[in-house]
Amino acid sequence: MIAVEDFSIDIRRGEFLTLLGPSGSGKSTVLSMIAGFSRPDGGSILLNGQDITNWSPEKRAFGMVYQGYALFPHMNVAENIGFGLRMRGKPKAEIDERVASLLERVRLEGFGKRLPRQLSGGQQQRVALARAIAFEPHLLLLDEPLSALDRQLRADVQRELRDLNRDLGLTFIFITHDQDEAMSLSDRVGVMTAGRLAQIGTPNELYEHPATRFIAGFLGRSNFMEGVVEEQRGGEIAVRAGAWRLVANAPANIPAGASVTLAVRPERIVIGGEHQGGNQIKGTVKSRIYLGSSTEIDVHVDGIDPVLVTTASWPAGPGSANAVPEPGQTVSVWWPAAASTVLVE
């Protein structure tokens, strides 16, 4: 069984790169090969142009942060942070100075003598981060380090990770299956599926211009409308989807008769109002879900899968011009041609 195949990526110095994908997509295997714990059957791993494929993990000297913290339970916080420095034979005075500086950096001043079991999950993760960067590694590898934390702690540690990356100029390679985490932290995101790198780009590029249906559905939510190209004029194509004629910006020449899928983000669709151009279709509200700042509305449209619309919840009072429609109500929905991503697979 092949875990990773035809994988090639160039990681920039100082960037925050995330490998994102579902379980079994191969992202942790890639990290293991970079760290030196696994050897690739083919290809090479280069560091600043030097082939390190056959180097041991110790020789690579990359920092590593794990999901389960991996702190030494019998060592206190200061001893855990200074462990890598002691293994490298650094003088005690230098170790003490570096540990004190890192305790301040991760906001754990005064915690140096505590044992890991005396810390919260977020504090343990900050100790693990400090230990990983104590010896000033070439890069930092992070294998789903936040998945064991609750929502608020994750948000706090995410900010600290981003600050560390910017302040230290250290290259981060981050592994996660959490789309929101990847989008909020990363300079670039590589989306993996079935052992392959499906697409890589900035969060904005991936969200606005997904290359495949998998990526459009995995990064956020999308409406998928399948149809056949009727014609292309200039930079737009007309697509017949059921009884509806839809228009979309076309990235390249697509011949008439070609089967395509249009992906449209729910927040790009508007309910009601008068609009010029673009796409306007009608349907019946099946359900709505209140999510606080937004409301998800499920609209049944003949010939198209139910269309999901995300709209602001306020103002939503009866009689409001922007009132959220009720289930059973007939509505028109609109979106511009530019909001449709054309997927040809």
CATH number of 221-343: 2.40.50.100
Q: How many residues does the chain have?
A: 345
Q: What is the pLDDT of residue 145?
A: 85
Mean model confidence pLDDT for the chain: 90
Secondary-structure percent of the chain, ordered helix, strand, coil, rounded to 5: 30, 30, 40
pLDDT in tens, 292-306: 888 999 999 998 879
Record the pTM: 0.88
**Strand-pair category, 171-176 with 16-20:** parallel
Q: What is the pLDDT of residue 322?
A: 59
* CB-based contact 189:18 (threshold 8 Å): yes
- For 200-204, what is the mean pLDDT? 96
Coil/strand/helix, residue 305 = strand
What fold is seen in the domain 16-216? Rossmann fold (3.40.50)
Q: What is the pLDDT of residue 276?
A: 82
Coil/strand/helix, residue 29 = helix
pLDDT in tens, 278-289: 999 999 999 999
Domain with CATH 3.40.50.300 in the chain: 16-216
**Percentage above 90 pLDDT, the chain:** 71
Which phi and psi (to 5°) does residue 175 adopt?
Answer: -110, 130
pLDDT in tens, 151-167: 877 888 888 889 889 98
* pLDDT value at 344 more than 90: no
Reference 333, options 261, 246, 249; nearest CA is 246
pLDDT in tens, 167-180: 889 999 999 999 98
Dist CA 21 CA 9 (whole Å) = 16
